[in-house]
Structure 1
Amino acid sequence: MTRRGESVQVVLITGGTSGIGLSLAEAFLAQGAAVAVCGRSTAALERFSRAHPNALAVQADVTSTEARIAMLDAVAARFGRLDVLINNAGIFVNRDFTEAPDATKDLEQELALNLTAPIQLTGDVLSRWPEISAIVFVTSGFALISPTRAPTYGAAKAGLHGFAEALRRQLAPNTHVLELLPPATDTPMNADFTGKKTSPAEVAAVTLKALEHRRSMALPGPTKLLPTLLRIAPNTIKRSVSKM
């Protein structure tokens, strides 16, 4: 967090033009940080730039090596360094392996965005800024228990959870590695979800607090109790998730 007398924090948020990413960008901007976001939609990037003219908005597909390098070049040219990387970009895909004849359609693209790209971008960033202050991985409560309707999403997020856990040990104590496990959140990705949703602003607030206190996990809303419930009542939680 940026305090009086300290230099301005530089933050890069992938998928930062909507949903959780946008709320994180606005929360950091409100605290005086210098913010860069990336996305694939030109229209969304233009809307973001109009609303936040002092931030940097970069069109980039993080699954592309060339696009990642160009994005980091743009951050370096504008701000000179990077202090916080937030790997937020992702996609939720329903896959029913009992019914769909093409249940693995576009699987490579899903896994590339949800798992491979965050790992690759983290490596790219560390090669440039090995003493970066913090790296955040946006996984999900589904990283701990996979959703019935989207098993490959759960698999990818579980993989990212494992990567974050090991990277935390590798980079300690200099770089803080935080995993954000949001519950069902009121974002475009969850537009068809009819259950209770947490607001993106709440997710962002919990994340910034977890960064400030150097916690290993940020657990907004219902996910706050998830690790404990998985220890003391795993069958109850699994039955609940089986309905999702």
Structure 2
Amino acid sequence: MSLAQSFVELGASVVVCGRSQAALDRFAQTHPQALAVRADVTDAADRAALLQAVADRFGRLDVLVNNAGTFEERDYAAGENPNATLDDEVALNLTAPIHLTGEVLERWPSPDAVVFITSGFALVSPTRAPTHGAVKAGLHGFADGLRRQLAPQGTHVLEVLPPSTDTPMNAEATGKKLTPGQVATVTMKALRRGRNMAFPGQTKVMPAMLRIAPGTLRRVVAEL
């Protein structure tokens, strides 16, 4: 909820959604002016109800932030099929944000900004979670093409590619993690400056490393 908090501090009217009623209740208790909606963004009916709630309360949506996600390790060399939950992963990390973006643009064709929180793994896939890299790369590609489509109408499309972040999704991850607040700070700065992409923390070296030492970068990622 750190990014939502950043918008609140700027005086924005904020809508938060998620599947955890407890987390939504905590945010609503400290931010009574915000709209908190329990919704599963992989469910079409839930997305429709969410957007109707936004329309009823505020009439429009100026900034859409797509940041739902999950991280699933899958070992294809283990001698068994690891794809039992693959469809759920693809739905949450890839098709849900694409569906939600399309549905938002159908209602409000010219928002100020659309934000995608992807991952540094969109550029170099993690060895232990190749499908995570695949879906994040897919969302990276969608953001890239959408940016050019929406540029003539003045909609800013921002992709944020953080490293491992200290969230429940990464509870079992080892190594250095950014806080959600740090990612939010970089995101807000990139929005203000009209950047196409933002690289919080360790990922800021990735564009240069991909140009000058891609093999080294892949070896580093392989150890994560």
Does TM-score exceed 0.5, indicating one fold? yes
Match of 1:133 in 2: 112
Instruction: Please state how far the C-alpha of 1:51 moved relative to its aligned partner.
Output: 2.0
Match of 2:178 in 1: 198
Q: Give the gaps of 5 or more residues in structure 2.
A: none
Q: Give the gaps of 5 or more residues in structure 1.
A: 1-21
Instruction: Indicate yes or no: 2:221 matched with 1:237.
Output: no
**Deviation string, structure 1 residues 93-140 (Cα, Å, up to 9, x no partner):** 111111162300111111000000000000000000001110001100
**Deviation string, structure 1 residues 6-60 (Cα, Å, up to 9, x no partner):** xxxxxxxxxxxxxxxx110011111111100100112221122112211110011
What does 1:201-212 align with in structure 2 at a 5 Å threshold?
201-212=181-192
**3-state SS of paired residue (2:32):** coil
Instruction: Indicate yes or no: 2:160 matched with 1:180.
Output: yes
Residues 132 and 100 of structure 1, relative CA distance in 2, 3 Å threshold = farther
**3-state SS of paired residue (2:29):** helix
Report the TM-score, using the length of structure 2 for normalisation.
0.97
In terms of fraction of residues, the more helix-rich structure is 2
**3-state SS of paired residue (2:189):** helix
Give the fraction of aligned pairs with identical amino acids, expressed as a percent.
64
Instruction: Indicate yes or no: 2:7 matched with 1:28.
Output: yes
Query: How large is the Cα RMSD of the aligned pairs?
Result: 0.9
Aligned AA for 1:107?
L
Q: Distance in 1 between matches of 2:47 and 2:26?
A: 22
Aligned AA for 1:233?
A
Match of 1:19 in 2: none
Match of 1:220 in 2: 200
Aligned AA for 1:33?
A
Aligned AA for 1:53?
P
Q: Distance in 2 between matches of 1:199 and 1:229?
A: 24
Q: Distance in 2 between matches of 1:71 and 1:225?
A: 37
Q: Distance in 1 between matches of 2:23 and 2:192?
A: 29
- Residue-pair matches, total: 223
Candidates 19, 32, 37, aligned match of 1:58:
37
Q: Distance in 2 between matches of 1:77 and 1:177?
A: 25
**3-state SS of paired residue (1:172):** helix
